[in-house]
Amino acid sequence: MVEFTALASQVLVGLSRAMILFIVSAGLSFVLGVLRVPNVFHGSLYMIGAFSAFSIAAWLGAHPAGLWLALLGAPLVAVAVGLVVERALLSHLYQREHLMLILFTFGVMLVLNDLVKLVWGPDYRSLVAPASLQGAASVLGISVPRYNLFLLFVGPLVAAGMWVLTAKTRIGRIARAAAVDRDMVGILGINVNRVFAAAFAIGCYLAGLGGALVAPTTSITLGMDHTIIIEAFLIVTVGGLGNIWGALVGSILFGVTQSVGLLVWPQFAIVFPYLATVIVLLLRPTGLLRSVW
Amino acid sequence: MSEMLRVEGVSKTFDGFSAVREADLTVAHGSIVAVIGPNGAGKTTLLNLITGFLRPDHGRIVFEGEEISRLAPHEICRRRIGRTFQLANIFPRLSVFANVQVSVLAHQRRSWDLLSAAAGLGVHETTTVLESTGLAARARYMAGVLSHGDQRILEIAIALAREPRLLVLDEPTAGMSPEDTAATTALIRRLARERGLAIILCEHDMDVVFAVAESVMVLHQGRTLVQGSPDVVRQHRDVQAAYLGTTDA
Amino acid sequence: MVAARPGRALGLGVGLAVLVAVPAVAPEFYVYILSLILVTGLLATSLNLVLGYGGIYQFHHAVFYGIGAYTLALAITKMGWPAWVGFAAGPVVAAAAGGLIGAICVRLTRLYFGMLQLSLGSLLWTIVLRWRSVTGGDDGIHGILVPAALRHVEGAYYVILAVVGVSLVVLFIIVRSPFGATLQAVRDNPQRCQAVGIDVRAHQLVAIVIAAFFAGAAGALYVVLERSVFPNMLFWVLSLEIFVMCLLGGWFTFLGPLVGAGIIVALRTVASRYTENWTMILGTILILLIFFMPEGVMGHLEQWVRRRAREDAHV
């Protein structure tokens, strides 16, 4: 029974981590699907979300809702940064080939990385979760950190929100149409530029939200952008490019294999999700679910 | 004349849509066969099946006694079947000369040669092909700047460099002016005669078809309606119904 | 356009003489930087064989560089092999990895090829990162004992110059060969090539193996120069940085990547003296490049030379 409890506990931890991975990957996948942009600086926005959450919380000091406001406000910083880059630079490159877009967003990632270093300094930061989310609760006899339960609640909420957005709202339908035929949408009299900006903003928001949510669980460092973006890209490919549900599947695969790996072979825990990714892509190179490309 | 290529009962389905259904085609050595049919009849799919870009779901394709249904495109080319595409498919950034030279090098089995200098190889063969297709004067131009008509002829030249015995042409005169069409038609006839080439050509332009073809196959909704001499086909009842009566899929 | 002209040959000869003479006249630091430029230039040129000439999106080329480096490092430190055996093993193991990874990936279209390669390379990176007992983990391996003659920068420089020189000549011959012409044709129109009897997959695979070989050689040379290895040599960021060097120099030219590598290494060295924010500078250069000079330095130069030649011809 001890074995089972340990395993179940680890799976729950993995699922919680998967929720953050999902939120970030969903944003990346959405932008990839609608704008056809592989956004390498998506990871930078994640990092900016984390650092912003720290700063907002620090600025609000002892205010009881301080940490909640930090979680709410940090993604908006990411949106602001992302929109500035999109309007000023990225929007002029939409017709260029994908390799150029990858290199351009890589360049922005490099710039943002140093900007974060300039603004926040090279030291790592940490953030505490809101008081109501600290400590653990007992679920089916297993002790689960309250924050993880919170993540397990937020994740599906975001998934549902994305589904409603893409399937049920007008803007979602326009975005999906634009993904398939950009020119046609333009001819229909719809301001494609604004659709793209809005879609991009949503992607940035998710990146920042992911960063804000991860902030209380780990140390906020300058290398966060590098690791999250490769994980997000692999998850998105495993799930199917542009497919939000695919992002969920891929994130769960990634999160759970890593946390189970911690139980099985702690030294090589990080290898497990990458190995799982390789195996999936060897068997189904285009991803598990349907890809937009 | 003996049989060179036989397509037997070949079918190909895409996601439930039958592009080609039990199509049959016979090509005799040194003959020119035209495949005609309305848009969407499956002509290009049939050509893709013959040249290996697609694999048939059912049926066989036999060339010179060998079944080639499952071969890859480059293996089909090595059996001396060449082709052109519906949209001019050349190397736009290379010169006209280099376009043909790549084909010559491949024919001489030199594509694996890592040490020689490519520039001086296969010059004679390349020049010969360019002269026989009338492109020699434009050898140094970048292929991308050629007129549409000349690009279609360049395609034929690239295919000729591999000394094919069967040439598959997908709408070779599409989008051409009347003068270019006449010139291309004359070229096709001359090549067939001089080199003893068998030619399959897909065409919409009935003047071209009746000017060069010795045998005509009518494809309708993926099926072979009839194959025979141009006069027989012209008078065939089902053909008239297909062209004048029913609409296509 | 090539070395046929006597002016070109003379220029190369003079350039070579200058390079040989450098250690005698320049301070040690410059010799070190030049060595680094040569090693990085070889790495970038090897990528360009598949990228610029082959049109293959080799997103994780750094993997082969890292494999070459770690092979030499492990050969010396863990296996006790003589240095020259390890040095020969580096590119060979890298080429084998290229063959394996290439064979797996080459059957996919461009984008998925890149993603699968990225996943395979990242897997390797995580293994190297965590296998502390063998690879030193995220500390890497330092103080690798190379032969005495190479321990001084000057000795290392001459070995590097010789190997890079020979490698570049070989790569140039390959690019100008029928294989190179076929590869470029495959880049421009794979469908056309198939119809002309060229086995596209096979040619791409061979190109990947050759590129991996020379990337592995560059990795081994890096060990000769720095006497250490670390996991970041297999990290995706380095792979994209190599792309940037090719872009900066001009990826439709042979010397472009070398020029790009030289500019990046030199700029990085200079900038690091004055600021901690080289990363931002690199990012800005990249962004400007994409907007204003996507043909790269050498591409720009070639256009300029061609324009001048046309103007002179009209005189």
Find all residues with CB under 8 Å of C108, minimum gap 6, and list them: A285, C116
| Chain B residues whose beta carbon lies within 8 Å of the beta carbon of residue C173 | 114-115, 117
Residues in chain C: 315
Let me know if residue C86 belongs to a domain: yes
Enclosing H/E stretch for B58: strand B58-63
**The CATH number of the domain where A98 resides is what?**
1.10.3470
Find all residues with CB under 8 Å of C129, minimum gap 6, and list them: A270, C135, C137, C138, C231
d(CA A208, CA A223): 16
pLDDT, one tens digit per residue, over A164-206 is 988 888 878 887 787 777 777 778 877 888 888 999 999 999 9
Determine, for residues C179 and B121 on separate chains, whether the beta-carbon distance falls below 8 Å.
Answer: no
- Give which of B89, B95, B102 to mutate to test C binding, by max C Cβ within 10 Å: B102
d(CA B100, CA B91): 9
Question: Among B83, B93, B110, whose Cβ lies nearest the Cβ of C195?
Answer: B83
Find all residues with CB under 8 Å of C29, minimum gap 6, and list them: none
The amino acid at A6: A
At A46 the pLDDT is 97
Question: Among B73, B82, B121, whose Cβ lies nearest the Cβ of C178?
Answer: B121
Question: Among B78, B89, B105, whose Cβ lies nearest the Cβ of C182?
Answer: B105
Q: What is the chain B residue with the closest CA to C252?
A: B93
Which of B86, B80, B7, B78 lies closest to B44 in space, CA to CA? B86
| Chain C residues whose beta carbon lies within 8 Å of the beta carbon of residue B121 | 178
Question: Among B94, B114, B158, whose Cβ lies nearest the Cβ of C188?
Answer: B94
Residue-level pLDDT, tens digit, chain C, 315 residues = 444 566 777 878 888 888 888 888 889 899 999 999 999 999 999 999 999 999 999 999 999 999 999 999 999 998 889 989 999 999 999 999 999 999 999 888 888 899 999 999 999 999 999 999 999 888 899 988 888 888 888 889 999 999 999 999 999 999 999 999 999 999 989 999 999 999 999 999 999 999 999 999 999 999 999 999 999 999 999 999 999 999 999 988 999 999 999 999 999 999 999 998 999 999 999 999 999 999 899 888 888 888 888 887 765
Query: In Å, how far are C157, C224, C248 from C30, measured between CA atoms?
Result: 11, 17, 22
| Chain C residues whose beta carbon lies within 8 Å of the beta carbon of residue A40 | 240
Domain that holds residue A74: 2-283
Q: What is the chain B residue with the closest CA to C210?
A: B114
At C5 the pLDDT is 62
Phi-psi region of B16 (alpha: psi -120 to 50; beta: other; left: phi over 0): left
| Chain C residues whose beta carbon lies within 8 Å of the beta carbon of residue A271 | 123, 126-127, 130
Is B227 in contact with B218 (CB distance < 8 Å)? yes
Domain that holds residue C218: 29-235
Let me know if residue C187 belongs to a domain: yes
At A132 the pLDDT is 86
Cβ neighbour number for residue C306 with a 10 Å cutoff: 11
C188 touches chain B (CB under 8 A): yes
At A28 the pLDDT is 96
Let me know if residue A73 belongs to a domain: yes
Residue B232 distance to chain C (closest CA, Å): 33
Mean pLDDT on B125-145: 92
Find all residues with CB under 8 Å of C17, minimum gap 6, and list them: none
Let me know if residue A52 belongs to a domain: yes
Is A23 in contact with A209 (CB distance < 8 Å)? yes
pTM reported for the whole predicted model? 0.91
C141: which strand partners? C229
Let me know if residue C280 belongs to a domain: no
C119 touches chain B (CB under 8 A): no
Show the tokens assigned to B32.
């020119």
pLDDT, one tens digit per residue, over A228-274 is 999 999 999 999 998 999 999 999 999 999 999 998 999 999 999 99
d(CA B97, CA B161): 11
pLDDT, one tens digit per residue, over B231-246 is 888 888 777 776 655 4
Residue C217 distance to chain B (closest CA, Å): 19
Domains of chain B by range and CATH? 1-80+164-249 (3.40.50.300), 92-163 (no CATH)
Query: Strand order in B81-83's β-sheet?
Result: B81-83, B166-170, B198-202, B32-36, B215-220, B223-228
Mean pLDDT on B95-115: 92
Let me know if residue A113 belongs to a domain: yes
pLDDT, one tens digit per residue, over A273-293 is 999 999 999 999 989 998 876
C195 touches chain B (CB under 8 A): yes
B90 touches chain C (CB under 8 A): yes
Let me know if residue A9 belongs to a domain: yes
Ranges A12-16, B171-175, B198-202: which has the least confidence: B171-175
- Give which of A39, A89, A114, A224 to mutate to test C binding, by max C Cβ within 10 Å: A114
Q: Which residue has the higher pLDDT, C48 or B222?
A: C48
Determine, for residues B107 and C197 on separate chains, whether the beta-carbon distance falls below 8 Å.
Answer: yes
Beta strand pairing status for B198-202 and B166-170? parallel
Q: Which residue has the higher pLDDT, B119 or A280?
A: A280
Is B53 in contact with C155 (CB distance < 8 Å)? no
Q: Is the dihedral of CA A10, A16, A17, A18 positive or negative?
A: positive
- Number of domains chain A is built from: 1
Q: What is the mean pLDDT of chain A?
A: 91
- Number of domains chain C is built from: 1
Let me know if residue C251 belongs to a domain: no
d(CA C160, CA C39): 7
Q: Which residue has the higher pLDDT, A22 or A170?
A: A22
| 3-state SS class at B113 | coil
Determine, for residues C290 and A226 on separate chains, whether the beta-carbon distance falls below 8 Å.
Answer: no
Let me know if residue A293 belongs to a domain: no
At C1 the pLDDT is 43
| Chain A residues whose beta carbon lies within 8 Å of the beta carbon of residue C286 | 103-104, 106-107, 110
Show the tokens assigned to A134.
């600290």
Burial B178-196 (b: 16+ CB within 10 A, else e): eebbebbbebbeebbeeee
At B245 the pLDDT is 52
At A67 the pLDDT is 85
C192 touches chain B (CB under 8 A): yes
Q: Is the dihedral of CA C38, C40, C43, C49 positive or negative?
A: negative
At C158 the pLDDT is 93
Percent of chain B with pLDDT over 70: 96
d(CA A216, CA A154): 15
